Structure 1
Amino acid sequence: MMAIEKPKVIICDPVADIGIEMLKAHCDVDIRPGLSEEALMDAIPAYNAAVVRSATKFPARVIDAAANLKVIGRAGAGLDTIDVARAEEKGIAVVNSPNANSVAVAEHTFALMFALVRHLPRANAGLKEDRWEKKQLMGTGLAGKTLGLVGFGRISRQVASRAQAFGMHVQTTQRRATPEKNAELGVDTVDMKTLFATSDFISLHVPGKPENRNLVSRELISEMKPTAYIINTARGIIMDEKALLDALDNGRIAGAALDVFKEEPALGNPLVAHEKVIVSPHIAASTDDAQQSAAVTIAEQILNILVDSPAENPLNLAVVPLDKVTPHERIDPRRVETLIQKFDASDVFTNPPIVVRSGENYVVLDGATRVSAFKKLGHPHIIVQILKESNNYTLDTWFHAIRKIDPQALLDILGGIPEITITRSDLKTVQADMVEHGGLCYIQTADKTIHHIQPAAGANHLDALNKLTTAYIDASHVTRTLHQDVDTLLAEFPDLAGVVVFPVFTLDQVLQIADAGNAMPAGITRFVIPGRVMRLNADFDFLTSDRDLTEKNDWLYDMVMERLASDSVRYYAEPIYLLDE
């Protein structure tokens, strides 16, 4: 059978990996940033879709060369770098992600505003150069000041809500004014001249269309108060840079903050070096959250145009049959019962278990208690997060701090398990002993005595390990820990009897045990998984209903895409502590 050729996509500018992976699932993707216009014209006939940000331009002559192009995706809001009219004439769709960067740009607008009024760049540089310029750095506040917003779209509304939180009066001007709607948001609507004449801060939020070139003209700048500041995180084309420079040189305005310029990179631009100007290199939209949201939104729109099959869930979430989900470790029944009570009292499903595929089944790496609770409740399906690349996670080991039992009583209980043998060892040699003799683990008691534990002759290694852990879990209180130093643990747990230290297992070992229908002891393996989904808060009634898998997965996909598009998703790269587990 002839293979079906996949659509071809060219990525012209850097975008978040999550969007690229979505496209790769259905298309052949080439990543070719930094192409000149001539090189792009030569390359573009081979592609069905192109993804750009602000660096790569798609003028009419590039579009004319795009013989097979069906869609141009702009990972961001502005379309001023694309000849949209020419693309429409050629039947090429142009899609963008206007909601993706709204919060990021609004936050950067305030970062620039604060830097202006509190002289933060000068304060930082001076102190690092051993200058204490406290008296020279008198700032001004935002509360009670008037913020004028030129344009009142998505970004501008985000700016307005933050300004109101700081106690600022907000006014705006629009080409097509909607004063009634603006008033509902607590924003006054004025004409352009009034806005420039009465605002203490002016922030620009209009697109870089040809009709907006030099919108902020010499005439408008001349209307500004001498104490006023102007901030531009929109497009450089809308500012008359020569008029702004003259106003700054002559002291007619207090200062400016610029993230965008008419010519970029803005090297050698006199505004960049001006003492009354704070600058950044077009980074207002450059946050992890904004870039991921933009990439996902664009990938989804491109896939909707290029392929008939539905796009995969961008966060690798899926609703799967519970009978296909297999824990790799044993479960503490007490924890299952506690979780069932939480499920009964909740309307939402929060944290999906983490799984990997193994044949037709899914092996649970983290979240076995949740899976067991769902099975005991009789639910047919569960939401899981499927890890697809082994390099996306690492496998480590928990140690078990055994508490609330006398150390000798603990050793007596373990000594009565026929499947294991216990020998004295020392900290310097016990690791080597475990490797040489196939040891299960070692226990260091509170008096720092080392006990090496091995399977008895003829005993199954996994059975012995499970008998061992079951015995001390039933007889004591066990806390998982990352520490194996007894002094550190005693400081945290004065009732410590000892700590069990296990060897590090491999993923292959874990999967082999699960595939054979067996399970490891609870709480030994520790999977370190970046990018895990938490606080999904999926409707419990819909998830546990009798709807089929296709309908539930469509519902899950729509829910995730809606949250990504509305900036409701945050990515945290750093480790975290959860205090409500």
Structure 2
Amino acid sequence: MNILSSLQIINIDAICLHEDHEPQRLDKTCKAIQQSGELCHPPIAMQMRDGRYLILDGAHRTGALQRMGCKRIPVQLARAEDIMLEAWDHIVSAGPWLSALKQQGHVYEDVRSHDQPAIVTITADDGSTYCLAPRNDKAHWWQRLEIWHQIVDSYSRHGAVTRVAQNSSAALEKGQVRVTSPVYTMAELEEVVLAGKTMPAGVTRFKINGRLLNLKIPLHWLADPMFDSEEWESYLSRRASSIRLYSESIYLCEA
């Protein structure tokens, strides 16, 4: 398979997102793209059954291009067999956000198993674990989703959020908690988006084989009302000679 054939230019109006933005991260991403004048890493997308394209990875890059008024966006279309959907754990400082959240009456603390799955599970720095469950045992999925948004928004406003893989053994510092979210399937995620809803910011984690990186696509192509398809094809031809596949493990410093 020619990996560059998975790269498509899509009208930005045909793009939809499955998760909220983190405001500070969006500002940082927008500034970085504007300064470089290039989009280094194309977002990863899949086409939904209604014809629109769902961004799987790259919500903040997509949001930055939307903010800058771009007319189109380059995306790498992923095949279903190359996608694995997981979830990020969030490490945050414990604080008044948790007690304030419970006082709102939507959730309660539960150390036992519950008729409904927990909205999130929280691990404290002393190793104790409990879950936040909806007070309404018969809460519909969209009500659970709204409460999940409230939980993530509460601690995101309180301080920095560190994402870690759910199978990692990251140690908690004193005063920190680890928030574990449920893992959705791709079918469930698509249903959320088709219903006009989104996931909370930074909870979905996609592992995708064959990711295209460092393409450095000129920003002016994406903002120009007229798209020059010949210039795009010429760009792809030049890039084809510099694509390298690394099969061994790579450690990338993203600082």
Give the alignment's TM-score, normalised by structure 1: 0.41
Pick the aligned partner of 1:499 from 178, 195, 209. Answer: 178
Larger fraction in helix: 1
Q: Whole-Å Cα distance in 1 between the matches of residues 89 and 105 of structure 2?
A: 23
Cα-Cα RMSD = 2.1
Judging changes above 3 Å, is the alpha-carbon distance between structure 1 residues 415 and 524 closer, same or farther for their aligned structure 2 residues? same
* Pair 1:364-2:46 in alignment: no
Secondary structure of the residue aligned to 1:570 is coil
Look up the match of 1:402.
Answer: 92
Aligned-partner residue type, residue 321 of structure 1:
N
CA contact (8 A) 2:16 2:53 kept: yes
Max radius of gyration: which structure? 1
Look up the match of 2:224.
Answer: 545
Judging changes above 3 Å, is the alpha-carbon distance between structure 1 residues 576 and 399 closer, same or farther for their aligned structure 2 residues? farther
Judging changes above 3 Å, is the alpha-carbon distance between structure 1 residues 464 and 349 closer, same or farther for their aligned structure 2 residues? same
Look up the match of 1:477.
Answer: 160
Judging changes above 3 Å, is the alpha-carbon distance between structure 1 residues 547 and 524 closer, same or farther for their aligned structure 2 residues? same
Judging changes above 3 Å, is the alpha-carbon distance between structure 1 residues 512 and 471 closer, same or farther for their aligned structure 2 residues? same
Deviation at 1:483, TM superposition (A): 4.8
Deviation at 1:343, TM superposition (A): 1.7
Aligned-partner residue type, residue 503 of structure 1:
P
Judging changes above 3 Å, is the alpha-carbon distance between structure 1 residues 481 and 321 closer, same or farther for their aligned structure 2 residues? same
Q: Whole-Å Cα distance in 1 between the matches of residues 104 and 74 of structure 2?
A: 39
Secondary structure of the residue aligned to 1:320 is strand
Pick the aligned partner of 1:418 from 84, 105, 126. Answer: 105
CA contact (8 A) 2:17 2:59 kept: yes
Q: Whole-Å Cα distance in 1 between the matches of residues 101 and 249 of structure 2?
A: 36
Deviation at 1:485, TM superposition (A): 7.0
Counterparts of 1:390-469 in structure 2, within 5 Å, are 390-403=80-93, 405-406=94-95, 409-425=96-112, 433=113, 436-457=115-136, 459=139, 460-469=143-152
Aligned-partner residue type, residue 402 of structure 1:
V
Counterparts of 1:53-64 in structure 2, within 5 Å, are none
Identity of aligned residues (%): 25
CA contact (8 A) 2:69 2:223 kept: no
Secondary structure of the residue aligned to 2:16 is strand
* Pair 1:562-2:238 in alignment: yes
Q: Whole-Å Cα distance in 1 between the matches of residues 165 and 22 of structure 2?
A: 20
Larger fraction in strand: 2
Secondary structure of the residue aligned to 1:518 is coil
Counterparts of 1:246-325 in structure 2, within 5 Å, are 296=2, 314-325=4-15
Q: Whole-Å Cα distance in 1 between the matches of residues 110 and 186 of structure 2?
A: 29
Secondary structure of the residue aligned to 2:111 is strand
CA contact (8 A) 1:489 1:496 kept: no
Look up the match of 2:42.
Answer: 352
CA contact (8 A) 2:71 2:222 kept: no
Secondary structure of the residue aligned to 1:437 is coil
CA contact (8 A) 1:401 1:496 kept: no
Pick the aligned partner of 1:382 from 59, 73, 87. Answer: 73
Q: String of CA shifts for 1:145-176, please: whole Å, max 9, x gaps.
A: xxxxxxxxxxxxxxxxxxxxxxxxxxxxxxxx
Judging changes above 3 Å, is the alpha-carbon distance between structure 1 residues 576 and 520 closer, same or farther for their aligned structure 2 residues? farther
The structure whose RCO (Cα within 8 Å, separation 6+) is larger is 2
Counterparts of 1:6-45 in structure 2, within 5 Å, are 18=1
Q: Whole-Å Cα distance in 1 between the matches of residues 73 and 107 of structure 2?
A: 38
Judging changes above 3 Å, is the alpha-carbon distance between structure 1 residues 498 and 363 closer, same or farther for their aligned structure 2 residues? same
Q: Whole-Å Cα distance in 2 between the matches of residues 340 and 314 of structure 1?
A: 25
Deviation at 1:327, TM superposition (A): 0.8
Give the alignment's TM-score, normalised by structure 2: 0.89
CA contact (8 A) 2:124 2:177 kept: yes
Q: Whole-Å Cα distance in 2 between the matches of residues 531 and 337 of structure 1?
A: 28
Q: Whole-Å Cα distance in 2 between the matches of residues 573 and 524 of structure 1?
A: 28
Q: Which runs of 5+ in 2 are unaligned?
A: none
Judging changes above 3 Å, is the alpha-carbon distance between structure 1 residues 315 and 412 closer, same or farther for their aligned structure 2 residues? same
Counterparts of 1:45-124 in structure 2, within 5 Å, are none
Aligned-partner residue type, residue 343 of structure 1:
I
Judging changes above 3 Å, is the alpha-carbon distance between structure 1 residues 483 and 527 closer, same or farther for their aligned structure 2 residues? closer
Q: String of CA shifts for 1:496-520, please: whole Å, max 9, x gaps.
A: 5110112221001111111111100
Q: Which runs of 5+ in 1 are unaligned?
A: 1-17, 19-295, 297-312, 426-432
Pick the aligned partner of 1:489 from 167, 171, 176. Answer: 171
CA contact (8 A) 1:443 1:450 kept: yes
CA contact (8 A) 2:97 2:154 kept: no
Q: String of CA shifts for 1:51-83, please: whole Å, max 9, x gaps.
A: xxxxxxxxxxxxxxxxxxxxxxxxxxxxxxxxx
Deviation at 1:316, TM superposition (A): 0.7
Look up the match of 1:510.
Answer: 189
Q: String of CA shifts for 1:301-332, please: whole Å, max 9, x gaps.
A: xxxxxxxxxxxx83411111111111101111
Aligned-partner residue type, residue 331 of structure 1:
H
Aligned length: 250
Aligned-partner residue type, residue 538 of structure 1:
I
Q: String of CA shifts for 1:270-289, please: whole Å, max 9, x gaps.
A: xxxxxxxxxxxxxxxxxxxx
CA contact (8 A) 1:326 1:362 kept: yes
